Structure 1
Amino acid sequence: MEIRRVTSYDDVVAVGHLFDEPPREAAGRRFLAEAGNHLLVAYADGRPAGFVTGVETTHPDKGTEMFVYELGVEDEFQRRGIGTALVEALLLLARERGCFGAFTATEPDNAAALATYARTRADAEPTVSLSWTF
């Protein structure tokens, strides 16, 4: 397995089947243009097997931390440690970029995600997630 950082929109399109929806060109290019946005892709057997996205967020009294935005692994590649390796690679990148920590959120019944995050030594804290859709 190899993990690579995606930096071109053509590469986003090539791994687009890993996302929930097909990539949107304007959004994909904007994501890649931001220095604090990161897309890492795991390749297994020469094929895209999974991805993780991270977004650096900075607050005046806290500093910068990494938001683990989304993690996905193709069904046929699950249970091989790919999700864990992707999260660990993003956490290493966060440390290298000077982030003081990282955070994420998932549904309480998402057993695969919770197990992956536990393997990367994440602390589970009860939270409530709220959202607005425009």
Structure 2
Amino acid sequence: MDTPYEIRRATTAAELTAAQHLFDGPARQEWAARFLAAPGHLMLIAYVGAEAAGFVSGIEMLHPDKGTEMCLYELAVAERHRRRGIGRALAAALAAVARARGCYDMWVGVDTDNDPALATYRSAGARDEGRFAMLTWPFE
């Protein structure tokens, strides 16, 4: 049986820190406030009752010759709420926000062996663009 859920945009640092059990690590109040204050940054949270069951974060990226695209930065669903369509709904909700904001597309980087993530994004309408390499500059 599907669990009813509601997706809402986070507008306060308190909402972000209350959802930190879904993040890779603990949220910091000052970073949460900075995230929300930054233009083009947004987080949608799926609630089952009062519980934050999942989230998706997005960041608009703007370039002078391309316009604006949305980067799906991160998506997570609490283990006990997985396989109920929440991840797909969060990705689709972010895509709807991106369209409403005039973005020309939305993209996400995914490890090629992350089958659950690939299935979630494909079920939400994403298509595979082929191989992707990500290189980083760690500033430690």
The answer, yes or no, to whether TM exceeds 0.5 is yes
Structure 2: state its 5+ residue gaps.
none
The two structures have a TM-score, normalised by structure 2, of 0.93
Structure 2 residue 90 is the aligned partner of structure 1 residue 86: yes
- 1:2 maps to 6
In 2: Cα distance, 1:121 partner to 1:72 partner: 18
User: How big is each residue's C-alpha offset from its partner over 1:11-52, in whole Å with a ceiling of 9 and x where there is no partner?
Assistant: 111111110000122221111001200100001133110000
Which residue number in structure 1 is paired with residue 72 of structure 2? 68
Secondary structure at the aligned position of 1:106 is classed as coil
Q: Does 1:44 align with 2:48?
A: yes
CA distance in 1, matches of 2:17, 2:74: 17
Q: How does 1:1-134 map to 2 (within 5 A)?
A: 1-125=5-129, 126-134=131-139
Aligned partners of 2:68 and 2:104 also within 8 Å = yes
Deviation at 1:133, TM superposition (A): 1.1
User: Shift of residue 106 of structure 1?
Assistant: 1.0
Please give the alpha-carbon distance, in whole angstroms, between the structure 2 residues aligned to 1:29 and 1:43.
Answer: 21
Q: TM-score w.r.t. structure 1 length?
A: 0.97
CA RMSD of aligned residues (A): 0.9
Structure 1 outlier segments of 4+, above 3 Å? none
Gaps of 5+ in 1: none
2: distance between equivalents of 1:3 and 1:21?
22
